[in-house]
A and B are shown apart, each in its own frame.
Chain A
Amino acid sequence: MTDMTVSGSAPEASQMPEKRVWRDIGIKRRYAAERRFKTYGLVAVLIGLACLAMLLFSVVSKGYTAFQQTSIRLDITFDKKIIDPQGQATSNNRVLLMANYPLLATRALAKTLGVDESDRKVRRELSGMISNGVRTQLRDMVLNDVAIIGKTRTIWVLAAADVDSAYKGQIDLSVDQSRRKVNDQQVEWMNKLAGEGILTGRFNTGIFLNGASSRPETAGMGVAMIGSMYMMAIVLVLALPIGVAASIYLEEFAPKNRWTDLIEVNINNLAAVPSIVFGLLGLAVFINFAGLPRSASLVGGLVLSLMTLPTIIIATRAALKAVPPSIRAAALGIGASKMQMVFHHVLPLAAPGILTGTIIGLAQALGETAPLLLIGMVAFVADFPATPMDPATALPVQIYMWANEAERAFVERTSGAIIILLMFLAAMNITAIILRRRFERRW
């Protein structure tokens, strides 16, 4: 019997006669090449990360101030003499609408600062401190509650955009006052108010809630966000079912012949078509031919659906192809019909892939600008769209429009809007990851 003891008596290879073949394997060269390749890869990754960091840094450093808005706390007296000097408020409802509300704010500011507001120059400079948006703010308060007239309320009013910029240090105060938008007097008042804590930066809710406005301090992305949401909903409702149905048919049911090959090639080509072409198509078909309203998020949604469809089809087909054939065989083997096989087994297994593809497609659609320009979504829309048929804008379009504005305060808002858009995209991608995880855990 052979036993383990044999190993002890066996000679080691080193004691055996020299028989090894000399091989020119160039160990050093191989390892050097491998190290070099790793270095290239690392450098490429680092360059990518640096670019991303630069982009984020530039956007965030410019844009984070957009989420802060300089405001002034004022004790505003709703003086009946100013609002309704003739006492016609009950008979003529235009009186309350047309009243000189900014004057109330100017007075309150003068009182706070302890200056005489009867001087016209002083009054002009005072009113230049406060955003014109105060008119709507106070009017809405009065219209909500007429009883407020004659009483005093402590409220925060927005500072004018130039004061806002000055307060955030975006205006160079060392140059002569004739060459800048805030004069020395205003700066002095600003500093005084800031010292007393009356003028301060507050979180800017307006950028999320307001519609378009020519005054930067009251301009917001509200309409754009609603428009984008409508469009995403339309894309989801249209492109997902159509795309998934088309892919299932092509992948599982369609015979493999020249026609299906042709369709496949065309779908792949469609995915590569520049998005502006889809915009032209939308303009021609949906607006000129079908007569749908311009600037409506419905049309935007339809165009983006067309654009997203190839992406979803390609992703879904890949996901369906990735389902192991053994599962199909198993289902067919116990007598499931083809339809049962697809819907009971293949589709659930492909769902995470389909979902990821869809969300990537949606994210792409969310960031798309060009086709929307052509269907008139570059519009000044101040009112919230109630339905997808109403005029609206979209997030990227809003960024495009703000980037074209001249005022200093719009620069930070543009960056702020970009931050909001990026956060939307991040949120969608995270949703994709979470859904994927959850689906995969079910199996």
Chain B
Amino acid sequence: MSDTMEMAEDTAAAAQAGAKPVMMRGRDVCVFYGEKQALFGVDLDVRANEVTALIGPSGCGKSTFLRCLNRMNDTIDGCRVKGKITLQGADIYDPKVDVVELRASVGMVFQKPNPFPKSIFENIAYGPRIHGLAKTKAEMEEIVATSLQKAGLFEEVKDRLDEPGTGLSGGQQQRLCIARAIAVSPEVILMDEPCSALDPIATARVEELIDELRENYTIVIVTHSMQQAARVSQRTAFFHLGNLVEEGPTDDIFTSPQDKRTQDYITGRFG
């Protein structure tokens, strides 16, 4: 089946069900680390302007799948990806696709806040600069300001943009990282346990931010906190031992999951 046909079908189906169109689509995705297989034929759709949460026990392959979506796995030695992943219908593992360009469209926020040891301004300006998004200094300042505003950090840091980003609190650093990802205008933002190093208040701020960002971006979030997945996501996918066990609307997954493994995991019965 060709991509365009698939896309056409999607659009038709989406229109029928009133669902959002598919932004990224994984089909039969298998990942190997050397001899060890980490993912077994995962089929998962990520819908536009929705938050898709990936949950599952440690080592279940959810982070691996996430890192496939912007080819961060390429940086790991001995990692092979099979199957097909498309972004708006285009195969991202096509040899013609440039990884650098892909990562500009599919941004990433990591588990531990990792601002560059530079000023707050430089942290955000770096991405637009290497991608040539701003021609003048004024344009760059504009991008930095809007990115910070979108990340809900502007009011807190507007008077100290030249101070080091590492001097911010953990929650602020994570929002700075989100602002940094936003600054290159991605379509999709991947978040790998973005709140695991934050306190509950900072977590709440980031979750609020995720909810706001949903309007303009497609978000895929890996989280260990089922409560968080339930709070922020519209769709949830449960991974177990490298398999996608169940995927569906978050409302259903957390009240009446279909698969026993899902039920056991989210109710805390996993052995």
A and B touch in the complex (CB under 8 A): yes
A residues lining the B interface (CB < 8 Å): 255-256, 324, 326-337, 340, 344-345, 349, 443
Contact A334 B114 (CB under 8 A): no
Picked from A327, A335, A345, A349, the residue with its CB within 8 Å of the CB of B127 is: A335
> How far apart are the CA atoms of A271 and B166 in the complex, in Å?
37
Residues of A within 8 A of B181 (CB): 333-334
In the assembled complex, 8 residue pairs joining A and B whose CB atoms fall closer than 8 Å, in A order, are A329-B72, A330-B114, A330-B177, A333-B108, A333-B110, A334-B126, A335-B100, A335-B127
Picked from B77, B130, B164, the residue with its CB within 8 Å of the CB of A336 is: B130
> How far apart are the CA atoms of A329 and B110 in the complex, in Å?
8
The reply to whether the CB of B117 lies closer than 8 angstroms to some CB of chain A is: yes
Picked from A328, A329, A344, the residue with its CB within 8 Å of the CB of B126 is: A344
Picked from B107, B117, B164, the residue with its CB within 8 Å of the CB of A333 is: B107
> How far apart are the CA atoms of A294 and B151 in the complex, in Å?
67
Contact B104 A333 (CB under 8 A): no
A324 nearest in chain B by CB position: B114
Contact A330 B117 (CB under 8 A): no
Residues of B within 8 A of A324 (CB): 114
Shortest distance from the beta carbon of B130 to any chain A beta carbon, whole Å: 6
Residues of B within 8 A of A336 (CB): 100, 126, 130
Shortest distance from the beta carbon of B67 to any chain A beta carbon, whole Å: 10
The reply to whether the CB of B180 lies closer than 8 angstroms to some CB of chain A is: yes
A338 nearest in chain B by CB position: B75
Residues of B within 8 A of A332 (CB): 72, 75, 103
With A336-B126, A344-B126 given, can you name 15 additional A-B contacts, CB distance below 8 Å?
A327-B116, A329-B114, A330-B116, A331-B126, A332-B75, A334-B107, A334-B130, A335-B100, A335-B131, A335-B184, A336-B100, A344-B130, A349-B117, A443-B117, A443-B164
Shortest distance from the beta carbon of A320 to any chain B beta carbon, whole Å: 15
- For chain A, what secondary structure do more than half of its interface residues adopt (helix, strand, loop), or is it mixed? helix
Contacting residues of chain B (162-179) with chain A, CB-CB under 8 angstroms: 164, 166, 177
Contact B77 A256 (CB under 8 A): yes
The reply to whether the CB of B118 lies closer than 8 angstroms to some CB of chain A is: yes
Q: Which of A329, A332, A335, A337 has the most CB of B within 10 A?
A: A335
Residues of A within 8 A of B180 (CB): 330, 334
Contact B100 A337 (CB under 8 A): yes
Residues of B within 8 A of A344 (CB): 126, 130
Q: Which of B101, B104, B114 has the most CB of A within 10 A?
A: B114
Contacting residues of chain B (100-123) with chain A, CB-CB under 8 angstroms: 100-104, 107-110, 112, 114-118
Residues of B within 8 A of A255 (CB): 77
Contact B117 A334 (CB under 8 A): no
A440 nearest in chain B by CB position: B117
Q: Which of B70, B100, B104, B107 has the most CB of A within 10 A?
A: B100
Shortest distance from the beta carbon of A339 to any chain B beta carbon, whole Å: 10
Contact B110 A334 (CB under 8 A): no
Contact A327 B114 (CB under 8 A): yes
Given A327-B114, A443-B118, A443-B166, residue A335 in contact with residue B104 (CB < 8 A): yes
> How far apart are the CA atoms of A324 and B116 in the complex, in Å?
11
> How far apart are the CA atoms of A228 and B1 in the complex, in Å?
74
Residues of B within 8 A of A328 (CB): 75
A337 nearest in chain B by CB position: B100
> How far apart are the CA atoms of A330 and B124 in the complex, in Å?
12
Q: Which of B75, B104, B166, B184 has the most CB of A within 10 A?
A: B75
Shortest distance from the beta carbon of B204 to any chain A beta carbon, whole Å: 24
Picked from B102, B104, B110, the residue with its CB within 8 Å of the CB of A326 is: B110
